[in-house]
Amino acid sequence: MYSGVLLLTLMLSFSDARKCLQPDEHRIKQEISDGIGKFGVNLHKYLMEQNFEQGDNVVISPLSVYFSLALTHLGSAGTTRDEITNVMGLPKDENILTCHKSIGLLHKLLQYHRHVNVTITHALFLQNGINVQNIFKFLVNYFYDGKIIDVDFTQKTSVDQINQWFENESHGKLKRFYNQPFSSDTKLLLANALTFTGEWNRYFPKENTATDTFFGENGEEEVMMMRKIDKIHFYDNPTGTFEIIGIPYKNEEYYMYIVLPKESQDLKTIIEQMSLEQIQNMIRKCTKRTVDVKMPQMLINTSNQLKNVMQQMGIEKLFTSADLSNMVMKMDLKVTDILQNVYFKINEQGTDVSVGTTQEIKTYNEFINENDVRQFYVQRPFMFFIYEPSSKIILYHGSIMNVKNHNNSNN
């Protein structure tokens, strides 16, 4: 009998699924959508709690983790599958293939946009000579377009091979995902790459960008602050604790929502009290208002080791004595860690964009004479999330404590 290690790895770079479903499938799809949302809110809370004392930023794609867990769920059995089912929020009494059909449709829907580029790719790197269940190969490819790639983990060249995959899938943003050779008992590596590239619906005029102060958790920082006045989504929480804006990406296919605590309020407390239902309610209550927005340019590189957080959320067997008998035959496996690297860039044009198009841009002065302009100055720690409105899925969560010195590792 073989024994070995399965590494779950995720990479992130911010840089036709609309088919008719049967009524019952609509219900399952909604339950799964809610499950993704609740999973994301909880994951962000755990990471925020873990990193708050150090004043570290948290930027995470719960969706990317969720899809990697979905592939693992397909290959798991017994208690291992039950734990993953609970944490993913999957309907417990439904056929597993029906659930993965709905997840697979969401997987395709999120990539089915003309103006915002989202790509989600999966690869299973497999030690030469290991047999993967044929049905697992078929389902991973059918639902998630996943690929099986042979590799020899005993050779140092395996690191270069996998790093090259990440570099290609991140469009060059992550060049060295792994720096050390794999251990001799590594047999499988499940990799996921989720990339997001979007232009703002209306740019921040570059002539408005100027040096300003961000009052971060670790002290004041002089940063490049973008500014524009635009009609965007706005909501002032009646409890007096925070305000929220929603800045649309091109054609309003995605939104970045920013939650800004009032000056006397604490971001950590707001996040701790936040639920998926509250987030959805805030989005519904947003109305279009003329808002004077100032927000910092950002370039964030961060990594997250998620094993401890996953165990706190209820997935334990996967990291001790996983039953992955629907993935591989006659092999004792365990997951050593779940890793996620994030490259996240915001500038005047959008989120990690290369702009080669023209569009109408309203300058600051065009709005000066409008009445009832709300000020929204992002000059203190804030929370953000990137949201797809038709599916109500959140791709990314983040809590930004400091704008500079953010090449941090969240263990």
Identify whether residues 148 and 127 lie together within a single domain. Answer: yes
The span from the CA of 205 to the CA of 359, in Å, is 12
Count Cβ neighbours within 10 Å for each residue of 15-45 and write b for 16 or more, e otherwise. Answer: beeeeeeeeebeebbebbbebbbbbbbbbbb
pLDDT, one tens digit per residue, over 217-267 is: 889 999 999 999 999 999 999 888 999 999 999 999 999 999 999 988 999
Comparing C-alpha atoms, which of 41, 32, 12, 35 is closest to residue 259? 41
Residue 391, domain CATH: 2.30.39.10
Identify whether residues 280 and 337 lie together within a single domain. Answer: no
Beta strands 350-351 and 58-60, pairing class: unpaired
Identify whether residues 272 and 209 lie together within a single domain. Answer: yes
How many other CB atoms are there within 10 angstroms of residue 219's CB atom?
10
**Is the CB of residue 52 less than 8 Å from the CB of residue 410?**
no
The span from the CA of 182 to the CA of 59, in Å, is 26
Per-residue pLDDT of the chain (411 residues; tens, 9 = 90+): 444 555 566 555 554 334 444 547 778 888 999 999 999 999 999 999 888 777 789 999 999 999 999 999 999 999 999 999 999 999 887 889 999 999 999 999 999 898 998 888 888 888 888 888 999 999 999 999 998 889 998 898 998 998 898 888 888 877 777 888 888 788 888 888 888 888 999 999 999 999 999 999 889 999 999 999 999 999 999 888 999 999 999 999 999 999 999 988 999 999 999 999 999 999 999 999 999 999 999 988 878 888 899 999 999 999 888 899 999 887 777 788 888 888 888 888 886 532 222 233 334 445 445 567 899 999 999 999 999 999 999 999 999 999 975 545 555
Domain housing 270: 200-296+363-410
The tokens for 109 are 């829907």
3-state class of 219 per DSSP? strand
Kindly state the DSSP code that residue 218 receives in the 8-state scheme: T
Identify whether residues 271 and 136 lie together within a single domain. Answer: no
The span from the CA of 90 to the CA of 384, in Å, is 26
3-state class of 374 per DSSP? strand
**Maximum Cα interatomic distance, the chain, rounded to a whole number of Å:** 76
The span from the CA of 195 to the CA of 11, in Å, is 9
Kindly state the DSSP code that residue 180 receives in the 8-state scheme: S
Q: Please name the helix (run of DSSP H) or strand (run of DSSP E) that holds residue 403, with its range, or none.
A: none
Identify whether residues 236 and 117 lie together within a single domain. Answer: no
pLDDT, one tens digit per residue, over 91-139 is: 887 889 999 999 999 999 999 898 998 888 888 888 888 888 999 999 9
**Residue 356 falls within a domain, yes or no?**
no
The span from the CA of 254 to the CA of 83, in Å, is 32
Name the domain boundary from 313, 344, 375.
344
The span from the CA of 30 to the CA of 284, in Å, is 17
Residue 131, domain CATH: 3.30.497.10
Give the predicted TM-score (pTM) of the model: 0.88
Comparing C-alpha atoms, which of 65, 31, 68 is closest to residue 47? 65
Place of tokens 């000020």: 375
